[in-house]
Structure 1
Amino acid sequence: MVKHLKTSEFKKEVLESDVPVLVDFWAKWCSPCLRVAPILEELSEDVKGAAKICKLEVDEEYEIADLYDIMSIPTIAVFVNGEIKDQMIGVQSKKALMKLLGL
């Protein structure tokens, strides 16, 4: 299951996670973002226990998006040990996202 993050949850869910966390920075009005959503749902089932899949809506939670200089959406970032390990912009395949996670 994909977790929809609020700013108040970001530190605990992402920065303090003991597994890699893929964060999809997205917006409701972004059609490519909507195309990524079902891929992330499927991915979340495949990586259960090995990684977390989260979404952060950039219009509602703009403080986090600003903190990480998110300028284009969807931006998909993988956090490991509280830092961005890698990121991609745009619609990605499940295979590409698995590789991004290192799985």
Structure 2
Amino acid sequence: MAKKNIKELLSKSPDLLLVDFHADWCGPCQTMEPVISEVLDSMQGKIKLLKIDVEKHPQLAQQFAVRSIPHYALFKRGKILWRKGGIMTKKDLSQALKGFV
């Protein structure tokens, strides 16, 4: 996805978007993939996932002050509602996101 399209999606989407800032080589990012998938599945489509590879989009990572990966940010219409970095348990991620759906 082109950078312009990503920015437009983040700023205009009426949906809740969980942005996963990651890199292919990142072990903790790979560990979190099934956790994110399970949590979002349990929310029945109320939160959409957008994965942003920080290697391919370093300007976006810098713009959103992503200093380490994995890093997650929940957006709605361009506003960050919640953000957190690092590995999280399924329970912790689920509890954090449930407050927004």
Quickly name the TM-score band, shorter chain normalised: 0.7 to 0.9
Do residues 28 (structure 1) and 24 (structure 2) align? yes
CA RMSD across the alignment? 1.8
Do residues 86 (structure 1) and 60 (structure 2) align? no
Q: 1:9 to 1:44 in 2, by over 3 A?
A: farther
- Aligned to 1:43, the other structure's residue is in SS state helix
Q: How does 1:1-103 map to 2 (within 5 A)?
A: 6-101=2-97, 102=99, 103=101
Q: Which amino acid aligns with 2:96?
A: L
**Once the 2 structures are TM-superposed, how far is the Cα of residue 6 of structure 1 from its aligned partner?**
4.5
What's the TM-score, normalizing by structure 1?
A: 0.82
- Aligned to 2:88, the other structure's residue is in SS state coil
Provide the C-alpha distance between the structure 2 equivalents of 1:63 and 1:94, rounded to a whole number of angstroms. 29
Structure 1: 4+ residue segments shifted above 3 A: none
Identity %: 31
Q: Which runs of 5+ in 1 are unaligned?
A: none
Provide the C-alpha distance between the structure 2 equivalents of 1:42 and 1:7, rounded to a whole number of angstroms. 27
Provide the C-alpha distance between the structure 2 equivalents of 1:7 and 1:48, rounded to a whole number of angstroms. 28
- Aligned to 1:73, the other structure's residue is in SS state coil
What's the TM-score, normalizing by structure 2?
A: 0.83
Provide the C-alpha distance between the structure 1 equivalents of 2:41 and 2:96, rounded to a whole number of angstroms. 16
Deviation string 1:54-101 (CA, Å, 9 cap, x unpaired) is: 211001011111111110111111112311111111111222222332
Q: Which amino acid aligns with 1:34?
A: Q
